[in-house]
Amino acid sequence: MDVAVIAVVLIAGVVIGVLVTRIAFARAHAGANGPTDVAVAAEARLTRAVLDGLTTGVVIAGPAGELVYRNPAARSLAGTHAGVLVDETVERHLRLAADDEQPDEELIELYGPPKLVVVVRAAPLPDGGAYAFVEDISERRRIDAVRTDFVANISHELKTPVGALAVLSETLVDEDDPEVVRRIADRLLDEAHRAARTIDDLLELSRIELGGEQMRDGVDIADVVRCAVERGESLADHRGIRITTLEMATEPDGHPVTVTGDRRQLVSAVGNLVENAVKYSEPKGQVQLRTRAEGPWVEFMVADQGVGIPARDLDRIFERFYRVDKARSRGTGGSGLGLSIVRHVATNHGGEVLVSSREGEGSTFVLRIPRGPDRSPPPGPGPVTPTGQLVARPEIPEPPPGRGISPDPSTPRPPNNGRGTP
């Protein structure tokens, strides 16, 4: 148990002891002295207010086992199946504690949805009765699982190129054939670049997650798109894929549209969407970009002619290192962090990222960013949540007919192999 949890438990225990003692004292001396009763009642109300404000559930039972107090956190699951299971556990622990049988803390795992993990602890009170703590540790468990998965994933992602570097280096030591040496040197360079890309993406994601040192300036969205296209052009040229900018939003007076945000983060997000579209498009395919300004929002739309994303994977593609087709990802040299970076950039700017995809027909990603704090709010509720959380749903403008992008008679359509993406 960490220090914070121990501190909360100790403080709550002291408060509960004071509350019960004061209530007993008030009952025993009721009517004896007016001012004293008033002071005790005021202190009891204050103590109760403190308990009501705790995020940890608190349940107090009297000497006869009757329920004396239950704070709002302890009542939060009332009327649910999970609440029934938790209440049964709490009552059992209160009985054991009241009988001077110190029960061990009990962990309750409910797989939901949503998944819920609760710890129940109970202890006796000096004058009879008992109290119990009900602590929801679901988020802590989730963070621990994410941390464990992250360590395992990054270890694997770095172990693969490092292991290859070691094997190739050993082979190179005893090799005399110049042609073989050249091929091995090329492989060494590829593996070194692969490890460097993973480290660079990790550093970028860490910097964006921390959210520190963000530059909140007016950013020209045309400049963001230009830099993003430049970032993906090298890979696109290598694979024979054409990147096209179809529409660029402008103000009614013809001036460029700007958003208030961090230029570096926005270029990173749109650049990752472009690179992702190029990586998972078939050779000789096409990637198209559009921007649109609607009221207080600006949208960056990236569409590809790739193999699409299975519906079962749409909710997970923004997780770190998650890949639908691991074999294809190894071939493209991706680190599995690009879409996670896009999600965090959207969140940092109070926006969201949407995706619409069909297997065999390509994917369309839309990054929606507020234009700035000086803009008026959207009229009525829209699809963007107040927290800017990720939404993976096909509620985005439908692209023109054709495999997710505008038809172009001069561009032959590549065959589809039905494989998944990122």
Nearest to 422 by CA among 322, 310, 320: 322
What confidence tier does 207 reach under pLDDT thresholds 50, 70, 90? confident
Give me the chain's average pLDDT, please: 76
Mean pLDDT of 164-186: 87
pLDDT of residue 378: 40
379 has pLDDT over 50: no
pLDDT of residue 221: 92
pLDDT of residue 143: 82
365 has pLDDT over 90: yes
pLDDT of 8-65, one tens digit each?
Answer: 555 555 555 655 555 555 555 544 444 467 777 888 888 888 888 888 999 999 888 8
266's CB contacts (< 8 A; 6+ apart) are: 219, 224, 259, 345, 349, 369
pLDDT of residue 371: 85
Nearest to 399 by CA among 367, 362, 353, 370: 362
The answer to pTM > 0.75 is no
Lowest mean pLDDT among 194-203, 254-263, 341-350, 382-391: 382-391
201 has pLDDT over 50: yes
391 has pLDDT over 80: no
Which residues are bridge partners to 57 per DSSP?
Answer: 134
2's CB contacts (< 8 A; 6+ apart) are: none
122 has pLDDT over 50: yes
Mean pLDDT of 306-319: 82
Higher pLDDT, 286 or 3: 286
Which residues are bridge partners to 136 per DSSP?
Answer: 118
pLDDT of residue 291: 93
Three-class SS of the chain:
CCHHHHHHHHHHHHHHHHHHHHHHHHHHCCCCCHHHHHHHHHHHHHHHHHHHCCCCEEEEECCCCCEEEECHHHHCCCCCHHHHHHHHHHHHHHHHHHCCCCCCCEEEEECCCCCEEEEEEEEECCCCCEEEEEEECHHHHHHHHHHHHHHHHHHHHHHHHHHHHHHHHHHHHCCCCHHHHHHHHHHHHHHHHHHHHHHHHHHHHHHHHHCCCCCCEEEEHHHHHHHHHHHHHHHHHHHCCEEEEEECCECCCCCECEEEECHHHHHHHHHHHHHHHHHCCCCCCEEEEEEEEECCEEEEEEEECCCCCCHHHCCCCCCCCCCCCHHHHHHHCCCCCHHHHHHHHHHHCCCEEEEEEECCCEEEEEEEEECCCCCCCCCCCCCCCCCCCCCCCCCCCCCCCCCCCCCCCCCCCCCCCCCCCC
Higher pLDDT, 147 or 10: 147
Q: Which tokens go with 55?
A: 């995020």
Q: Which domains does the chain have, with CATH numbers?
A: 3-136 (3.30.450), 140-210 (1.10.287.130), 214-422 (3.30.565.10)
CA distance 344 to 329: 21
What confidence tier does 326 reach under pLDDT thresholds 50, 70, 90? low
Phi, psi of 122 (to 5 degrees): -140, 155
pLDDT > 90: percent of the chain? 17
418 has pLDDT over 50: no
Nearest to 73 by CA among 59, 84, 60: 59
Residues in the chain: 422
pLDDT of 81-112, one tens digit each?
Answer: 888 889 899 999 998 888 877 777 899 898 87
383 has pLDDT over 80: no
302's CB contacts (< 8 A; 6+ apart) are: 270, 273, 274, 276, 277, 287, 288, 289, 364, 365, 366
375 has pLDDT over 50: no
